[in-house]
Structure 1
Amino acid sequence: MRVRLARTSLFAIFLIAACARPAWAVATFDEVKRDYRPSDTLVLDRSGEVIQRLRTDSAVRRGQWVALPDVSPALRTALVLSEDKRFYEHSGVDWRAVSAAAWGNLWNTKTRGASTLSMQLAGLLDEDWRAGAGGRSIVQKVGQTVSAQVLEARWRKDQILEAYLNLVPFRGEMVGIDALSRTLFGKAAHGLDEREAAIAAALVRAPNAKAAQVSQRACGVLKTMQAPAKADCEGLDLYAAAALQRRAFDASEGVAPHLARRLVAAQTAQTAGTKGGPNAPRTLTSTARAPLQRFAVQTLQQQLRELRGRHVEDGAVVVLDNATGEVLAWVGSSGELSGAAEVDGVMALRQPGSTLKPFLYAQAIAEKRITAASLLEDSSSQIQTAGGLYIPQNYDRQFKGLVSARTALGASLNVPAVRTLVMVSPDAFHRQLKAVGLPLKESGDYYGYSLALGSSEVSLLSLANAYRTLANGGRYSAPSLAKNPKPVFTPALDARAAFIATDIMADPMARARTFGTDSILATRFWTAVKTGTSKDMRDNWAMGFSQRYTVGVWVGNASGAPMWDVSGTSGAAPIWAAVMNYLHKTERSRAPAPPAGLVQSRTQFGNQGAQPLEAARSEWFLQGTEQTVFAINSGAETQGATLARGQKSSRKPAAEPDAPPRITAPASGTIIALDPDIPPKHQRVSFSAEGRGTRWLMDGKEFARGPQAQWMPWPGRHVVQLVDAGGKVADEIKLEVRGAGVREASVRGSGAAVR
């Protein structure tokens, strides 16, 4: 007998010794809380306010760690009464419950079990004590018991209960009270009532039980919490069944989903291979301002609702701090209004339209090819290219004649921009755009002269940062999603030319010919702004900056479908103006000081008839390029002076007085490319002829009479015939039109689109 007792004692000592070392290695409460990893990442604004919750762990659903005071009293009571009635009395092991369980096992009587909350938490903290498919072994049970007593010795009761509530599996993939309460009940843990608390407590015992079993056990918990006579279990089965059908709350919620994904991707790449792996951390601080982000989202959605009848459903907004490059707002889509809300409009590549023109004119000024007062001819032009004749036009199919470069940029005239690119060359302009941070995929020769009108593809972020380069006097630095960056500036554009281009964009009179003097672009404080519209009205932009901020707005459709009758001032500009006004509710914005090397001189312009081409004004010049008078002589000299290099006149030698009627322009074989920056319904091809009593036929149908004619181009190959007074075909040419024509949907609405 003594030998048997000795063996038993030795076995017990050995068992306790085997379990003691891992049991005593229990982590502290602070360590457990620190190492907790929710399945969601919280993205905070620069002040610590949550702006987005984004699920980043698909293997399990864990919410945020919930402090015990933030758990409803009903749930705390229900859990203790259900799982460990003497929780506040024992020191880790409920020996009365152990005795009752042993007695029940001896007499084969079903009992609640002896596992305390502390013992269950020990099993959650150390996988060595977790039950396997066949339950726990004797060693595991002893180790769990020792660990529970160590926990009780080192942790407070409230810490044990708090950790348990955050680590216990409830149902399916849901772990912790935050995930449970938000998934099944759609509320935070502090809002759970007694009925919901009873269901939660019932799930601890049987996480995957059927709804009927859960409601039955929840009813028992309710009766324990309340007097049995007062416990109301009516309808509990239906309520439990409905709650258990809910599987997950939204994977992402907030006001900055695209910014959150961008930050998480950057953080994952940065922490890959480090301690904690790609899952650390679960809280990220952004550079955004929460109130500004919310305002930008609301303004974008409100504007798009107003434009819904014009086939517009998407948009994006980005706001940059000029000095640091910090992203203060990042709105990637219109959210619920969009058919492709996951597409990030801030990073998507789109044609920028006329928003590239400021960089073109700045480059031409820096190279001293033109000044802001130089006269450029806004007239019909045919530029020979490898693919045929390139014939740019203006938005209203009208030409302004001779205009200054200031007016050409401010009024966003297309033909002078193309003439300016002819001087600069597409390849040199391509290098300039790369210098200001626009990552163009193709070479300048690939885009050709249409590069002046934005035929390349850029992202809203890179375009906004290029405008920030203008705001910083031609100095480039990358945008930043990290707080308090140390921007590294590099010269990308002549500071003097950047100042002149900025001054033009800030001049309401410069854009008056196109936009009027009271357009949405005119702000009560200093700003410089430019709009743009891409081919077939697929993309609409408003880009501009104040003394401190750069704001970029894109409006369109993620699918690339064209909008209907939406212009720069009716599409993106109202959003841009609203965001700018919000930023400057209390902040001032002053014009930049001119850099060294600039002079301001009084300038006059020659006459066109009895009136001067433009009103006299003070103009900015690079030192050494200033002039007091800008004029062009009349007659044949004018033609030679206004044709930029690389252009060819389409005029044929004058016909003899008695010669038969003939077509003088365009030449047969002309290839016409529809302008990428003009809505198709606003484009026209001009024809001219010599002779009297002539009629024009397009593919056999008459479309005009007289020596001059205009025709709205339609894609395809066409035959143009000139018929004399006797009805006989006197001349004929063939031409081809390339590009997209007017769709039936795109001609709805009224009024000309203004860029």
Structure 2
Amino acid sequence: MSGSNGRRPPLVADRRYGAPPARKTTPAKAKSGGGGGRPPAPRRRKKRDPLSALVAWVFGLVWGIFRFVWRIVWGIGWRIAASVGLVVGLSSYYFYSQLPEVSQLVDGRARGSVTMLDRDGKVFAWRGETFGGMITSDSVSDHLRDAVVATEDRRFYGHFGISPRGIASAIKINLSEGRGPLEGNGGSTITQQVAKLLCLGVTYDPKQWKSEAEYEADCRRGGIWRKVKEVPFAFAMEAKYSKAEILTIYFNRAYLGAGARGFEAAAQRYFGKSANVVNAAEAAMLAGLLKAPSYYAPTANLERARDRANVIIGLMEEQGYLTRAEADKARRNPAQLSEAAQSRSGGFFADWVMESGPTFLTKDTTEDVIIRTTLDQRLQKAAESALADVFATKVSAGSKAQAAVVVMSADGAVRAMVGGRKVEAAGAFNRATQALRQTGSAFKPFIYAAAMDLGYSPADFVDDSPLTVMVKGSGPWTPANYDREFRGLVTLTTALKQSLNIPAVRITEAVGRDKVRQVATEFGIKSDLAAGPALALGVSEATLLEMTGAYAGILNGGSAVRPYGLLELKLQGDDQPLIGQEGGIGERVISEKAARLLTYMMTQVIESGTGTRARIPGWEAAGKTGTTQAARDAWFVGFTAEYVAGVWMGYDDNTPLKGVTGGGLPAEIWHEVMLRVHEGLVPRPLEKIVPEPRLPPRTSSDVRTDPVPQDTGDWQAAPVPQDTGDWQAAPVPQDTGDWMAAPRPPSAGEKIVRDVLGIFGGGRN
């Protein structure tokens, strides 16, 4: 207890928790006189390196500046980010509140469509943008859904509307290919593409945009600002709709070429089946259209579409949607177009039907319209192939000559129409219905129709001798035959089958130009027919459709027809048609006897006249050739007991044909067309009347068909010869039976308003 003076030390925590470690103490200095140790030497201060001090100072300065700048940037940045986030959030909420139900967004068309059916009820053409009806992403083929996601947005199920990785990748690709960062690949997700299809919620307003095309172009416009606006809209869509619903909108609104809006319409258009049942190869081809619909449309270039489909199949395999075996099978069995899509037939016919119907139900329709037509696709293909074969084998390569073909029934129902050598886009110039061309000698049947209707006979005679007509105000006009020769007295049948011009003029003047004009007009020739004597040589213009329809009137026994292609028009889903057939057989123009006599005369054109190249083995046919001045137009129009067909050939710019007459290439085209049209049909004879033969008159002076008195410069003002009295009342000479002396109506004295100088040849063929 020493050192404590007998007292207990105080109780402290050390005792409870253990004593703290002893402090190291410095020995006390020894007292003077004591025996302590040496005191420690004082510590020496280390001298600092000037360079290290400078580095430390610079570092401190830089760090201080960085901290200062960072505080400013952070202070501004988080405020900007917060503001942007607030704007995006508010914008997204605004779009979210404006977005309608999915069912209201699936049909993105501002106008309706027109679907055309042939005479058997099969689809052959579409006009406008068709919509096949709403489909959902759950109901479509799994292959189609997988193909679209693999092609357009492989991360679709993992993002919330935008894909930063996709945008960065697209910018990298664009820059590597020398484009601007947002030019070309945009890195858009499917959601962003749907936002663009919806035009960011902006609806079409005719007052704001001149056309739908301008509106859609504005919707598709790229650029930074457009991308910025897509972001909140995409966020809103992701918040409003499920992924399946976003795909549903995409599947229904995407344009996929050839007028197809949505995958259902495209699947029906290209493959004739629903999008719900397309296989892997078909799905890949449909998905490939999203990149460039018109360019990759299989109806435009099937091989190019298949190459694109193979790329899609590769992506599907790479991403695990297809096994190696499934991908190889899809490549070995590429998608095949349906018969309707593959044929691409009837385009000119469809254009004509669209023009013949009311605009508000065709071009400007806001409804989906179904039109049943008279088209026969077998006959259409026959006409197209025949025309192509003749041009391929008998026309020089590189020729720009054009041709048109029309085939119809005797009642005017058009069964086939080819408006040009090549199948062109909708709305192309249709030479069968829009080209007004001089008819040449193809007009002559109307002259003889008028004569037959007035009681003339095909066995009657006409004088083929030189003729000069004094045209008031123009002087003498002298028509000539094609070969510049004269044959004297010939029958009307011979005059027609050899296409003689002078007899045609004489008969026209005998029966009266008014009568000829009336017959031609009532048979369907709508243009203003020539008033002068050159009327007989076919200087007037007509379309091929008009000429073919007029010849149909001869076939059906003398009644006019109005060519038609529309049988009925109704709205999709309705049972009752809005419009029925407009056209068909009309009023009688000439007597049935006259039509049958004329039919006989026209059979001789093909049997032994200018149209022998048009003969059809086993079939009786009637027709007429036609060639205009300088061979600018060449025609052949004719018929069998089954069909009437017309062929026109020429240049669009009126360049003369070289070595072509109506009895040449047009007759051969007609032959090829009708040969194929009549395949499988049992031959039937034409209804005709063969006239009794007559003895020729004793002299040409007994043939009173020349109404042109040669002693006056104005034949219209010439008096009736006084030495014979009224020739119309003269009796028929009993010893000859010459019909030319039989009572006939007077020739008309109408005014001549057309200058026909220079028209000397007209046309033999």
TM-score, structure 2 length as denominator? 0.57
Judging changes above 3 Å, is the alpha-carbon distance between structure 1 residues 669 and 268 closer, same or farther for their aligned structure 2 residues?
A: closer
Which residues of 2 match residues 652-663 of structure 1 at below 5 A?
none
Task: State whether structure 2 residue 448 is matched by structure 1 residue 361.
Answer: yes
**Match in the other structure for 1:378:** 464
**Match in the other structure for 1:75:** 147
Rounded Cα–Cα distance in structure 2 between residues aligned with 1:163 and 1:262: 35
Task: State whether structure 2 residue 459 is matched by structure 1 residue 440.
Answer: no
Asked if 2 retains the 8 angstrom alpha-carbon contact of 1:525 and 1:588, the reply is no
Task: State whether structure 2 residue 414 is matched by structure 1 residue 318.
Answer: no
**Match in the other structure for 1:244:** none
| Letter aligned with residue 384 of structure 1 | M
**Match in the other structure for 2:484:** 397
Deviation at 1:605, TM superposition (A): 3.5
Rounded Cα–Cα distance in structure 2 between residues aligned with 1:349 and 1:466: 15
Task: State whether structure 2 residue 608 is matched by structure 1 residue 512.
Answer: yes
| 1:715-746, Cα deviation, whole Å (9 max, x unpaired) | xxxxxxxxxxxxxxxxxxxxx9953899xxxx
| 1:568-593, Cα deviation, whole Å (9 max, x unpaired) | 22120111111111121112343455
Deviation at 1:454, TM superposition (A): 0.6
**Match in the other structure for 1:577:** 671
Which residues of 2 match residues 420-435 of structure 1 at below 5 A?
420-435=507-522
**Match in the other structure for 1:462:** 546
Deviation at 1:505, TM superposition (A): 1.1
Rounded Cα–Cα distance in structure 1 between residues aligned with 2:445 and 2:613: 19
**Match in the other structure for 2:58:** none
| Letter aligned with residue 85 of structure 1 | Y
| Letter aligned with residue 608 of structure 2 | A
| Letter aligned with residue 758 of structure 2 | G
**Match in the other structure for 1:249:** none
Q: Which runs of 5+ in 2 are unaligned?
A: 1-89, 165-187, 204-218, 220-224, 263-286, 323-341, 569-580, 716-754
Q: Secondary structure at the match of 2:437?
A: coil
Deviation at 1:63, TM superposition (A): 10
Q: Secondary structure at the match of 1:259?
A: helix
Deviation at 1:185, TM superposition (A): 4.4
Q: Which has the higher strand share?
A: 1
Judging changes above 3 Å, is the alpha-carbon distance between structure 1 residues 533 and 483 closer, same or farther for their aligned structure 2 residues?
A: same
Rounded Cα–Cα distance in structure 2 between residues aligned with 1:347 and 1:16: 54
Rounded Cα–Cα distance in structure 2 between residues aligned with 1:20 and 1:513: 80
| Letter aligned with residue 313 of structure 1 | A
Rounded Cα–Cα distance in structure 2 between residues aligned with 1:64 and 1:181: 20
**Match in the other structure for 2:339:** none
**Match in the other structure for 1:476:** 560
Pairing partner for 1:490 from 587, 602, 606: 587
Rounded Cα–Cα distance in structure 2 between residues aligned with 1:140 and 1:336: 43
Pairing partner for 1:640 from 692, 696, 701: 701
Rounded Cα–Cα distance in structure 2 between residues aligned with 1:548 and 1:380: 40
Pairing partner for 1:262 from 332, 342, 352: 352
Asked if 1 retains the 8 angstrom alpha-carbon contact of 2:107 and 2:253, the reply is no
Deviation at 1:537, TM superposition (A): 0.9
Rounded Cα–Cα distance in structure 2 between residues aligned with 1:138 and 1:191: 34
Rounded Cα–Cα distance in structure 1 between residues aligned with 2:430 and 2:231: 56
Rounded Cα–Cα distance in structure 1 between residues aligned with 2:479 and 2:389: 35
In terms of mean alpha carbon deviation, does 344-353 or 572-581 score higher? 344-353
Aligned-residue CA RMSD (Å):
5.1
Rounded Cα–Cα distance in structure 2 between residues aligned with 1:255 and 1:540: 25
Pairing partner for 2:758 from 720, 739, 744: 739
Task: State whether structure 2 residue 378 is matched by structure 1 residue 291.
Answer: yes
| Letter aligned with residue 359 of structure 2 | A
Judging changes above 3 Å, is the alpha-carbon distance between structure 1 residues 457 and 283 closer, same or farther for their aligned structure 2 residues?
A: same
Rounded Cα–Cα distance in structure 2 between residues aligned with 1:268 and 1:124: 31
Rounded Cα–Cα distance in structure 2 between residues aligned with 1:329 and 1:458: 19
| Letter aligned with residue 684 of structure 2 | R
Judging changes above 3 Å, is the alpha-carbon distance between structure 1 residues 147 and 558 closer, same or farther for their aligned structure 2 residues?
A: same
The percentage of aligned residue pairs carrying the same residue is 23
Rounded Cα–Cα distance in structure 2 between residues aligned with 1:181 and 1:428: 60
Rounded Cα–Cα distance in structure 1 between residues aligned with 2:756 and 2:109: 64
Which residues of 2 match residues 51-66 of structure 1 at below 5 A?
51=124
Asked if 1 retains the 8 angstrom alpha-carbon contact of 2:475 and 2:713, the reply is no
Judging changes above 3 Å, is the alpha-carbon distance between structure 1 residues 568 and 142 closer, same or farther for their aligned structure 2 residues?
A: closer
Q: Secondary structure at the match of 1:567?
A: coil
Task: State whether structure 2 residue 361 is matched by structure 1 residue 271.
Answer: yes
Q: Secondary structure at the match of 2:141?
A: helix
| 1:68-123, Cα deviation, whole Å (9 max, x unpaired) | 43965762351586242369xxxxx89x999xxxxxxxxxxxxxxxx996797588
* Higher CA-based Rg: 2
| Letter aligned with residue 101 of structure 2 | V
In terms of mean alpha carbon deviation, does 116-125 or 420-429 score higher? 116-125
Deviation at 1:533, TM superposition (A): 0.8
Rounded Cα–Cα distance in structure 2 between residues aligned with 1:457 and 1:76: 55
Asked if 2 retains the 8 angstrom alpha-carbon contact of 1:422 and 1:449, the reply is yes
Asked if 1 retains the 8 angstrom alpha-carbon contact of 2:506 and 2:707, the reply is no
Asked if 1 retains the 8 angstrom alpha-carbon contact of 2:614 and 2:670, the reply is no
Asked if 2 retains the 8 angstrom alpha-carbon contact of 1:547 and 1:591, the reply is yes
Q: Secondary structure at the match of 2:241?
A: helix
Pairing partner for 1:417 from 504, 519, 527: 504
Asked if 2 retains the 8 angstrom alpha-carbon contact of 1:304 and 1:314, the reply is no
| Letter aligned with residue 694 of structure 2 | F
Deviation at 1:259, TM superposition (A): 3.0
